[in-house]
A = this chain, B = another copy of it.
Amino acid sequence: MKRKIDYKQVRQLREENKRLQVLLHLAENLQAHLDLNQLLFTTMREVAKILNADRCTVFLLDEEKHELWSIVAMGIGKGKEIRFPAEKGIAGHVATTGEILNIPDAYKDSRFNPEIDKKTGYLTRNMLTMPLKNREGIIIGVFQVLNKEGGPFTSKDEELLAAISQITATTVENSLLYEEQVHSLNSFVETLSATLDTRDYITAGHSRRVTMYTLALCEQMQMTDTSCEELRFAGLLHDIGKLGIPEAVLFKAGKLTQEEYETIKRHPAVTRQILGSIHFPRKMKNVPEIASTHHEKINGRGYPDGLKIEQIPLGGRMLALADVFDALTSRRQYRDRESIEKVWETIEKENGQTFDPEVFKIFLEIPVNKLISILEYDQRDRLDHDELGKLVAVPFKDILSIKKSPPEKLTKKHQTSLAIFDKYYLRNY
């Protein structure tokens, strides 16, 4: 008798141990992700495994829109967002009432909404659905586990999922708070940049386009996401120092005096000063330096510091070319856009003087469809993306060499590329 009890105890303790280990492992695993998508993917994958189920979905409540939403974790459409009214289907029922629903056969339950199955081609059999409650007991979403192997979910499964739900709710809330902050900072930078861009109608949209050219270079160079993000901020903010230059000088229509020109030349130093007062996240720590070196020249004759090539951060060298390319291809006060041959000729003259030859070379590799969509960003709703798609494999340098070739030597394909480029570049659309 005694021995029997001991065995039972041992078994129970072992089970409990396993349960705790699983939960602890999950807690450690989940808290490693602050990025919401990563966190949701990990949660859904791990929880399906733990409950021996085929699929697990975390739906989050979007209070503003009164919708439940999630991202597809597996199969076709992975990464896509799913959204539906917050009271619809089983998940909606649970989100509204806070009840736990353990349904052995979904298609026999009138609350089940078979639409998602229809869309995804999945066949739901049994399902366990539970509210995701935060520490204050507020429902922030719904946990749904589908198709347990070997039959319906047990009350033990319910208990386990309840414990999991608590861990998940907290990590999800942390992640949402973090993303909210990231999103805020980002939208602040974007909005400020756009606001400053619109102050001068002649250069309207300048910072945005400079940023896009720079990101096109990034992509061509296969830089890391972090570096691209840093460059994006630097691009959006490179002219923030113009806030320190009087508009009377900045927007003067006629010729500038030497003194006025010197005043304008102060703007990158002011950019450095302003951005230097901001505590950027560590991975963005070079934003002030990159942004404030966009008027340096690799021969050391730029400003504000007259740095030479190796002293200028790569990002600054990228911005320098993007900045001039945008200036030369923007419509100016009294004239239209200069021809692309002339624009590039001007830039080529400065290659090795103002511009880093490496950056120069990479710029020539940017696909033309991308270049057009930046050049014509203010007309973005009017672009024909199917047509531009034909230029996806045409690097910028090809257009330049086509332009130089005698017309009779052009292939049909060349002619098409050129026609599309000219149509958009010359704004005949």
Contacts and interface: CB of A to CB of B under 8 A. Distances in A.
Contact of A180 (B170, B171, B282): B282
A182 interface: yes
Interface stretch (A50-58, A98-106, A147-155, A187-195): A187-195
Given A13-B17, A188-B188, A278-B191, A34 B174 contact: yes
A281 B187 CA distance: 11
B279 A170 contact: no
Contact of A9 (B10, B27, B183, B244): B10
| SS class, residues of chain A in contact with chain B | helix
A299 B281 CA distance: 45
A247 interface: yes
Contacts of A274: 191, 195
Contacts of A377: none
Interface residues of A, number: 56
Contacts of A156: none
A167 B135 CA distance: 19
A201 to B, nearest CB: 12
A243 B195 contact: yes
A278 B195 CA distance: 12
Interface of A: 2-3, 6-7, 9-10, 13-14, 16-17, 20-21, 23-24, 27-28, 31-32, 34, 135, 166-167, 170-171, 174, 177-178, 180-185, 187-192, 194-196, 199, 243-244, 246-248, 274, 277-282, 284
